[in-house]
Chain A
Amino acid sequence: MYRGREGQWAFLLHRLSGLAILAYLLLHVFSIGSFIFGERFYMAIHHTYDLWFFRLGLVVITAGVVYHAFNGLRIIVMDFTGAGVAYQRQMWYGVMALSVLSALYAAYRLYPRLIGGY
């Protein structure tokens, strides 16, 4: 593993969160669309979302969306201003803080569901 600093991890997380969002979106479209095969099929799919993996995934995807959105703004600031490059590290810590906070908030709001399912 190359021992890069903040920028390298910012870049890697941006890619990973992008992929996670894409996967979530495809899953979302597919599971909503599955209704065309009838209610039984639709419900069968939605029951699998009760698995712990999907419950936890809700918190992770929240963090991923917030990270991707705000890091995207960070990249825009870097691309358009010299100061953006100078303060990229501080901005990244800001982005990370926002992502963690939003994940915590999501966990708090979803707590009953995280613990007990539907």
Chain B
Amino acid sequence: MTQAQITPSTPATVAAMMTLKVKVLRFDPEKDKKAHWVTYEVEASAADRVLDVINHVKWYMDPSLTFRRSCAHGICGSDAMLINGRNRLACKTLLRDVVKKSGDTITVEPIRGLKVEKDLLVDMEPFFDSYKAIMPYFINESPEPAAERIQSPELAERMAHSSNCILCACCTTSCPIFWVNGSYLGPASIVQAHRFIFDSRDEATQQRLNIMNQNTGVWRCRTAYNCTEACPRDIPITQLIEEVKRAVMYQQA
């Protein structure tokens, strides 16, 4: 048996340093009438994340830069931003995926459709109001069984995707319909509704389908797929929305 040859390989993570122009759309409600671009030159490695770069700007160049972040590991959903023209989580976006070479520019803007409070920080209240509107809690009035409420693996599979959502708003604020019609509940709320509608143990299916059937619900969706492309959790959002649309329709029939 031949032994696999061990070659000293360069670790994949070794990445050259590069100088980037980081263009941030800034807005200070106390000073500015309009948002304006400010460019910072930052030295970074291709393996760094966009969050590292804007942290660098805040910590060493301009402490007034305002943005949200918390976990820095793509799970809290705080740092959705419009990076190089697409919604992404800053902590989950590697520089090598958005720039090619030293000297390149990355643009960072607040997510759209929500009011900008300062710099990259937007008012998330309307987003969470839409979330609350779908009754995002388990409803089952039947007497509790002695042990847990059983769900088969197949039935659990139906809500596997929708239960992955971290409520980051990347989807809702990428939706062209939401930009022009803020009363549309938006893809994130529909994903959340899907999580309960397709939960075999939940009993408020009918109520939630009725909410989805209102004129702020699923029928606003025009299948533009921006949400699906934007979701950092790889949730097939448009597919889930279509499932909810069909559920609403067949319930009516």
Q: Which of B198-232 contact A (CB under 8 A)?
A: 222-226, 228-229
Evaluate contact between B223 and A82: CB separation under 8 angstroms: no
Evaluate contact between A8 and B112: CB separation under 8 angstroms: no
Evaluate contact between B222 and A11: CB separation under 8 angstroms: yes
Pairs of residues from A and B, 8 with the lowest C-beta to C-beta distance, nearest first: A7-B225, A3-B85, A11-B224, A4-B226, A85-B239, A7-B224, A8-B224, A3-B86
Q: Which B residues are CB-close (under 8 A) to A2? A: 82, 85-86, 112, 174, 176, 226
Evaluate contact between B226 and A7: CB separation under 8 angstroms: yes
Q: Which of A43-51, A72-80, A97-105 contacts the other chain?
A: A72-80
Q: Interface size for chain A: under 10, 10 to 19, 20 to 34, or 35 or more residues? A: 20 to 34
**Residue on B nearest A1 in the bound complex, by CB:** B85
10 intermolecular pairs with C-beta atoms under 8 Å apart: A2-B112, A2-B174, A3-B84, A4-B225, A5-B229, A7-B224, A7-B225, A14-B222, A79-B246, A85-B238
A4-B174, A8-B226 known; 20 other A-B pairs, CB under 8 Å? A1-B85, A2-B85, A2-B174, A3-B85, A3-B86, A4-B86, A7-B224, A7-B225, A8-B224, A8-B225, A11-B224, A12-B176, A14-B222, A78-B223, A78-B242, A79-B242, A79-B245, A82-B239, A85-B242, A88-B225
**Complex: A78 Cα to B243 Cα, angstroms:** 10
**Complex: A4 Cα to B112 Cα, angstroms:** 13
Asked if B182 CB lies within 8 Å of chain A CBs, one says no
Asked if A10 CB lies within 8 Å of chain B CBs, one says yes
**Complex: A101 Cα to B14 Cα, angstroms:** 49
**Residue on A nearest B224 in the bound complex, by CB:** A11
Q: Which of B85, B174, B223, B245 contacts A88 (CB under 8 A)? A: B223
- A4: min CB distance to chain B, Å: 4
**Complex: A14 Cα to B239 Cα, angstroms:** 20
Contact with B along A61-95 (1 / 0, CB 8 A): 00000000000000100111010011010000000
**Complex: A25 Cα to B177 Cα, angstroms:** 26
**Residue on B nearest A81 in the bound complex, by CB:** B242
Q: Which B residues are CB-close (under 8 A) to A82? A: 239, 242-243
Contact with A along B27-64 (1 / 0, CB 8 A): 00000000000000000000000000000000000000
**Residue on B nearest A3 in the bound complex, by CB:** B85
**Complex: A82 Cα to B223 Cα, angstroms:** 13
**Complex: A81 Cα to B75 Cα, angstroms:** 31
**Complex: A3 Cα to B226 Cα, angstroms:** 9
**Residue on A nearest B238 in the bound complex, by CB:** A85
Q: Which A residues are CB-close (under 8 A) to B225? A: 4-8, 88
